[in-house]
Structure 1
Amino acid sequence: MDPWGLLVTSVSFAAFRGLHWALQLLPTPGSAAQDRWKWRNICVSLVHSLLTGVGALLGLLLYPQMAADPIHGHPPWALVLVAVSVGYFLADGLDMLWNETLGQAWELICHHLVVVSCLSTAILSSHYVGLSVVSLLLELNSACLHLRKLLLLSHQAPSLAFSVASWATLATLALFRLVPLGWMSIWLIRQQHQVPPPLVILGGTGLVTVGAISIALGIRILVSDVLRSRPHSPIPGHKETRGTRGCCDGELVTREDSTLSLQD
C-alpha cells in the first residue's frame, strides 16, 4: 500500500468537494438557471477531464514505457495522476448522492464504483499504474461530452459551437475511448497469465461495462446530433412557427438529460 497515493486521493477528494462548494458562490448563466446543480457538477467534471486527460496524454508521450510495461513501468508522478482521478470520482459520487435520488443516479454511481475499484488497485499495489494512465485517455472524450452537455444546458443547440462539440465528441470517442479500451482488452487477454485471476475478472468487467456504455453513448449522440439534425424538406401545408421550434429544442434537451454522460 502506498501512503502517498492515499494522501493524494484524500487531498483530491477535498479539493473537488471544495470546488463544488466554491461554484455555488458564482453566478450561473441565466439560460442554465433552472438546473444550477447540474451546471456546477458538469463544470467540475470538465476540470477533472481536462486535468487528467491532458496529463495522461502528455505522460504517455513523454514516458512511453508506461504503455510498454503497464504493470511496473511508471514515473512517480503517474501514481499522483491516478490518485487525483480516484479522489474526483469519490467526490462526484458523493455529490450525486447528495443532490439526486438513487434512481436518477444509479447508472453513473455504478460506473464510478467500477472505475474507482479498477484505479484503486494501482494505488494500493503501486502496480498497473501505466495501465491506469492509459485508461485516463478516455477523459479527453469526457471533456468533449461535458462541453457538449454545457452547451445543451445553455440552450445553444443547434449552433455552430454545438455542432463542433458534437463532432469532436464523436471523433474523440473513437480515438481516445474505443481505441484505448480495445488496446487494454487485448493486453489483458494476452497477459492474463501475469495478472491475478481476481484482477482479470475486475479488469474484464470494467472494460466490458465501460465499452458497452461507450458504444451505446456514441450511437445516441450520432442519432440525436447528426442524423436527426439533418434538414428535412418541409411538409406541404405545414408552416414552422416559433412555438414548434421551441418544442423541438426542448425535446432535444429533455432527451439528452436522459442520456448517460460518462465521467471516466
Structure 2
Amino acid sequence: MVPSGILVTGTSFAAFRGLHWGLQTLPAPGPAAKNPWKWWNICVSLLHSLLSGAGALLGLWLYPQMFFDPIHGHPPWTLALVAMSVGYFLADGADLLQNQTIRQAWDLLCHHLVVVSCLSTAVLSSHYVGFSMVSLLLEVNSACLHLRKLLLLSHQASSLAFSMASWATLATLVLFRLVPLGWMSLWLFWQRHHLHPALVVLGGGGLVVVGTVSIILGVRILVSDILRSRSHQHTTKRKETVGSRTCGGGSETVRADHRGNSTLSLED
C-alpha cells in the first residue's frame, strides 16, 4: 500500500503540472504578454503560497503543541499540507527545467532541491511535521514576493499597489521568514544531540541556504524599492522646485551668445 504522504505528493505534482500546462495555453494580460510563461508560472506559485501559508498559520494557531513537539505532535491533515508543498516544488522544478536553461534557473532549482529534501523527511517518516509547518510560514512572505513580481511584470512599479506590496514584502520577510528561520535554527541547535547527525546536517544546511537567500533578498528589495524610490522622488521634487523658481524669474541668468542675442540659461 502506498503511504498517504507519497500519494498526496504525487497527486499534488500532477495537479500543479496540469495547472502549468493549462494556463500556458492562455495569453498573459497586458504588458506581461511578452513573457506569458513567466506570468503564469508566478501565478501558480502565488496560488501555492496562499494555500500553504494560510494552512501553516491555521494549523499552528489551532495546534500550538506543534511548537513544543515539532517531531511527533501534529494532526493528520498537516502532513497532507506538507506533502502538497513537496508536490508543488517538484512540479515547479519540472516547469523551470522545461522553459529555462540551467544557467537561468540554477538558484531557484537549488532552493527547490533543498526544500524538497527537508520536507520529504516529514512526508516519508510522518515525523517532524510540526517543524515543517513552521517552515511553511515562509510562504506568507513568498505570497507577497510573487504579488510584487506580478506588479513588476505589469509595469506597475510606480503605482501605490506596488509600494504597498514592497512594504508588505519587507514586513512579512521579518515576521514570517526571518523569525521562523531563527526559531528553527535555535530548536535544531538545542536538539542536536537527540537527532540523527544526517538530519542535523540536512536541516542546518537548508536553514543556512534559505536564511542567506532571505537576507540577500530583503536587502535587494529595500535598496531597489524603498531607498532608490525615495532618492528618485527627492531628486524629482528638487528639480521641479528649481524649475518652478526658474520659470518665475528667480534664477535666470541672461547670457549673450556670439551673435549678440540673449539666451535664457536655467541653473540647477
Tell me the TM-score range normalised by the shorter chain.
0.7 to 0.9
TM-score after normalising by structure 2: 0.86
CA displacement at 1:30 relative to structure 2: 1.9
Following superposition, which runs of at least 4 residues in structure 1 exceed 6 angstroms of deviation? 235-239
Partner of 1:253: none
Partner of 2:209: 209
Residue 129 of structure 1 is matched in structure 2 by: 129
Q: For 1:168-226, what per-residue CA distance to the aligned partner results, in whole angstroms no more than 9, with x for missing partners?
A: 00000000000000000000000111210000000000000000000000000000000
Q: How many residues align?
A: 239
Conserved 8 A contact 2:69-2:130: yes
One-letter amino acid of the structure 2 residue matched with residue 107 of structure 1 = D
| 1:110 correspondence with 2:116 | no
Q: CA deviation at 1:24?
A: 2.0
Partner of residue 46, structure 1: 46
Per-residue Cα deviation, 1:27-70 (whole angstroms, up to 9, x for no partner) = 31121011111001000000000000000000000011111100
Q: Within 5 Å, which residues of 2 pair with 1:86-235? A: 86-230=86-230, 231-234=233-236
Answer whether contact 1:2 1:125 (CA < 8 A) is retained.
Answer: no
Which residue number in structure 1 is paired with residue 11 of structure 2? Answer: 11
User: Which residue in the other structure is 1:246 paired with?
Assistant: none
Write the letter of the residue equivalent to 1:136: L
Alpha-carbon distance between aligned partners in 2 of 1:207 and 1:24, rounded to the nearest angstrom: 33
User: CA 1:50–1:203 in 2, change beyond 3 Å: closer, same or farther?
Assistant: same
Gaps of at least 5 residues in structure 1 are: 240-264
TM-score, normalised to structure 1, is 0.88
Quote the offset at 1:146 in angstroms: 0.0
Q: C-alpha distance in 2, partners of 1:157/1:117?
A: 35
Distance 2:5 2:102 in 1: 29
* TM-fit CA distance, 1:232: 2.5
Distance 2:2 2:58 in 1: 24
- How large is the RMSD of aligned CA atoms in angstroms? 1.6
Aligned to 1:65: 65
> 1:77 is matched with which residue?
77
Structure 1 residues 24-35: aligned runs within 5 Å: 24-35=24-35
> Which sections of structure 2, spanning at least 5 residues, go unmatched?
244-268
Q: CA deviation at 1:2?
A: 7.2
Identity %: 74
Q: Which residue of 1 aligns with 2:256?
A: none
Asked which structure has the greater CA Rg, the reply is 2
The answer (yes or no) to whether the contact 2:82–2:129 under 8 Å persists in 1 is yes
Contact 1:192 1:200 in 2 (8 A): yes
- Using the TM superposition, name which of 89-98 and 23-32 deviates more: 23-32
1:106-128 Cα deviation digits (max 9, x unpaired): 01101100000000000111110
1:2–1:126 contact (8 Å) kept in structure 2: no
CA separation in 2, counterparts of 1:172 and 1:22? 31
The one-letter code matched in structure 1 to 2:119 is L
Distance 1:175 1:236, change over 3 A: closer
